[in-house]
A and B are shown apart, each in its own frame.
Chain A
Amino acid sequence: MNVGVCYAEADRQTWLRLEVPDDSTVQQAIELSGLLAQYPHIDLGKQKVGIFGKLAKLDAPVREGDRVEIYRPITADPNQVKRRRIDG
């Protein structure tokens, strides 16, 4: 089946399309995509992954058309950012 694997940084974004075996997991799709070779600093032990904006486990199954995504943590403190906006 066809899936996508996507990772994005501020100045470089990659969305790969590939064919994977029907019973593949999120982790297998990532490994098969070769994305980790392009971004060797990705740490799947620390960085969260998901499918189309929803967090998923590495061993979750992928389905036809899914976009597997590797995320980066936010750097802002949500309370600080919100307050700053109210302050103007």
Chain B
Amino acid sequence: MIDQINSLLPQTQCGKCGYRGCLPYAEAIAAGKADINRCPPGGEEGIQALADLLGVLPKPLDSACGEHKPRAVATIIEEDCIGCAKCLAACPVDAIIGAAKQMHTVIASECTGCELCIAPCPVDCIEMREIPAESPVLAKRLKPLRAELARSRYELRGLRLAREEAEKAARAREKKAALLLKMQATAKP
């Protein structure tokens, strides 16, 4: 059931629902802990789809979570970017390329429009730019493809961050073990 609910969410990973991503929100809905009207990017259409799946009545979007907006992508104002890397850490789908003191650039085709990179930027150099609307037919076809792409990149990022964390912990353990050995060696008479 969680997977079915998650497949109806836009995979924006924006957290506007109050959960850390689309999957945690899907889990909360499945557990009966969250209402179905907390996803602004999904909009009325998304709420209707969730209502149909769960056999409940749709209800208006919870305005406390935000409003449904036309699709937009983040854009970096290059003359102001100082290469601080804060937006890289904020992007849930690795849609920003850059490194410390290097220019940061949003890969427009990969951006889910989650807006999570906006607030961390210390020089306010990221803005959302609306994308020209597609024809309804094309938009309907692309929607699930975009969601699938975003979901897979969100998951891959999660795996990568977990791996980096594990490697860091392993290095710390090795360092500690080496230090202990050294201390034992010097402590011997």
Residue of A nearest to B91 (CB): A53
Q: Which of A13, A73, A82 contacts B105 (CB 8 A)?
A: A13
Which residues from chain A contact B97 at a C-beta distance below 8 Å? 6-8, 13, 53, 67, 69, 71
Which residues from chain A contact B102 at a C-beta distance below 8 Å? 48, 50, 55, 71-74
**CA A74 to CA B109, docked complex, whole Å:** 22
Q: Contact at B99–A71, with CB atoms within 8 Å?
A: yes
Query: With an 8 A cutoff between CB atoms, is A45 at the interface?
Result: no
Q: Identify the interface centre among B81, B124, B156: most chain A CB within 10 Å of its CB.
A: B81
Q: Contact at B99–A81, with CB atoms within 8 Å?
A: no
Which residues from chain A contact B82 at a C-beta distance below 8 Å? 74, 76, 78, 81-82
Q: Contact at A74–B99, with CB atoms within 8 Å?
A: no
Which residues, 94 to 131 on B, are CB-close (under 8 Å) to A? 94, 97-103, 105-110, 122-125
**CA A54 to CA B164, docked complex, whole Å:** 12
Q: Contact at A13–B79, with CB atoms within 8 Å?
A: no
Q: Which of B79, B99, B106, B156 contacts A54 (CB 8 A)?
A: B99
Which residues, 40 to 88 on A, are CB-close (under 8 Å) to B? 48, 50, 52-55, 65, 67, 69, 71-76, 78, 81-82, 85
**CA A71 to CA B97, docked complex, whole Å:** 8
Which residues from chain B contact A55 at a C-beta distance below 8 Å? 99-100, 102
Total number of A-B contacts with CB less than 8 angstroms? 82
**CA A7 to CA B109, docked complex, whole Å:** 13
Q: Which of B80, B85, B106, B156 contacts A81 (CB 8 A)?
A: B80
Residue of B nearest to A79 (CB): B82
Q: Contact at B94–A52, with CB atoms within 8 Å?
A: yes
Query: With an 8 A cutoff between CB atoms, is A23 at the interface?
Result: no
Query: With an 8 A cutoff between CB atoms, is B24 at the interface?
Result: no
Which residues from chain B contact A37 at a C-beta distance below 8 Å? none
Task: Add 12 more A-B contacts to A6-B97, A53-B89, A71-B98 (CB < 8 A).
Answer: A6-B107, A8-B105, A8-B107, A10-B105, A15-B110, A48-B99, A52-B160, A53-B85, A65-B156, A67-B97, A71-B99, A72-B102
